[in-house]
Amino acid sequence: MPVNNISVKDIINIYDSGFIILDEDYNLFLINSKGRELLETQTEKDAEEIITEILAEIRIQEHIRGGEAVRNLMKYKGKELLLYTGLFEVEGFKGIFVEFNPLSKHKEELKAFDYEVQASSLLRTVLDSSNESFIYVNSDGIIEMISESYAEFLNRKKEDLIGLNVVDVVENTRLDVVLKTGKSEIAQIQIVKGRKIIATRIPVYAKGKVVGAIGKILFRDVDELNNLYMKINNIEKELNLYRDEFKKVNKAEYALDSIIGENIEIKRIKELTKNIASTNSNVLILGESGTGKELFAHAIHNNSKRMDAPFIKVNCGAIPYELIESEFFGYEEGAFTGAKKGGKIGKFKAADGGTIFLDEIADLPMNMQVKLLRVLQEREIERIGSNTSEKVDVRVIAATNKDLERMVDEGTFRLDLYYRLNVVSLRIPSLSQRKDDIQILADHLIEKISIKENRFVDGISSESLETLKSYGWPGNIRELENVLERAINFLGDERIILPKHLPPRITGNQDMLFNRSLRETLDEVEREAIVRTLIHTKGNKSKASKALEISRTSLYEKMDKYGIDNS
Q: What is the DSSP letter of 384?
A: B
What is the rounded distance in angstroms from the CA atom of residue 553 to the CA atom of residue 567? Answer: 15
What is the phi/psi pair of residue 228, to 5°? -65, -40
Contact 188, 174 (CB under 8 A): yes
Between CA 288 and CA 296, with CA 291 as vertex, the angle to 5 degrees is 115
**Which residues neighbour 458 within 8 Å (Cβ) at sequence distance 6 or greater?**
495, 496
What is the phi/psi pair of residue 183, to 5°? -110, 140
Q: Could you please state the CATH topology (level 3) that the domain comprising 433-561 is classified under.
A: Helicase, Ruva Protein; domain 3 (1.10.8)
How many CB atoms sit inside 10 A of residue 248's CB? 8
Going by C-alpha positions, the residue among 336, 310, 341, 308 that lies closest to residue 323 is 336
pLDDT digits (tens, 9 = 90+) for 183-193: 988 878 888 77
pLDDT digits (tens, 9 = 90+) for 215-239: 888 777 666 666 766 777 777 766 6
Supply the CATH classification number for the domain 131-248.
3.30.450.20
Contact 371, 328 (CB under 8 A): yes
Half-sphere exposure of 14 (CA within 13 A, CB side): 28
Contact 126, 145 (CB under 8 A): no
This prediction has a pTM of 0.52
- Is the per-residue pLDDT at 371 higher than 50? yes
- Is the per-residue pLDDT at 438 higher than 80? yes
Provide the 3-class DSSP secondary structure of residue 118.
coil
Between 276 and 507, whose confidence is greater? 276
The H-assigned helical ranges of 284-386 are 293-302, 324-329, 347-350, 366-378
Q: Could you please state the CATH topology (level 3) that the domain comprising 256-427 is classified under.
A: Rossmann fold (3.40.50)
Q: Among the CATH numbers 3.30.450.20, 3.20.20.140, 3.40.50.2300, 3.40.50.300, which is that of 1-121?
A: 3.30.450.20
Domain locations in the chain as residue ranges: 1-121, 131-248, 256-427, 433-561
pLDDT digits (tens, 9 = 90+) for 107-156: 544 443 343 334 556 556 665 655 678 888 888 999 888 888 888 888 88
What is the rounded distance in angstroms from the CA atom of residue 311 to the CA atom of residue 255? Answer: 13
Taking CA atoms, 245 is separated from 240, 301, 308, in Å, by 8, 19, 14
What is the rounded distance in angstroms from the CA atom of residue 541 to the CA atom of residue 533? Answer: 9
Assess whether the region 1-121 and the region 433-561 belong to the same CATH fold.
Answer: no
